[in-house]
Amino acid sequence: MKISGQRTYLTSLESVAMTDIVLNMFIFFFISFSLLYTFNPNKVQKLDIKLPKASNVSTIENLNQLDITLTNENIMYLGQDMVNAKELKEKIRLKQRENPQLIVILRADRLVSFKKIVEVLDVLTELGITNLNIAAVRD
């Protein structure tokens, strides 16, 4: 005698609701963590500038260095902070008081106006900064 079992598949709404909740939680956490990663200050991309080319280039890696960046829109940055000439002078003066052997690296885009470069050099000269390096890339 053949015994046949009944196979009935019961799809309940409870499993559909649970799947919906899990997928919504996955989407929420995925978006949250991607936003946290994107706007993390440590992950912020450095300022993108096109440095001029030079044949004699050396690298400087020093903890006492201070980066001044001039973009092609003539915007000035001290580190990652946007500054004007007056703020630049005050902030460099404070940094120089903390560290008299301060090394300044000027990173100017190749399209920046020479007037802006002279403005920065004037501030550095007034403050007595003698250890100045101008950033370039090897051609």
pLDDT 10s digits, 74-126: 889 998 888 998 999 999 999 999 888 888 989 899 888 889 999 999 999 99
Task: Count other C-beta atoms under 10 Å from residue 124's C-beta.
Answer: 19
pLDDT 10s digits, 46-69: 667 777 888 777 776 666 788 899
Helix (H, G, I), strand (E, B) or coil at 76: strand
CA 103, 112, 94, 122 torsion-angle sign? positive
Q: What is the pTM of this model?
A: 0.61
Identity at 7, one-letter amino acid code: R
Helix (H, G, I), strand (E, B) or coil at 14: helix
More confident of the two residues 44 and 36: 36
**Check: CATH 3.30.420.270 for 53-138?**
yes
More confident of the two residues 73 and 16: 73
Query: Token pair 């250890």 is at which residue?
Result: 131
Q: Would you state the pLDDT for residue 94? A: 92
Instruction: List the chain domain ranges.
Output: 53-138
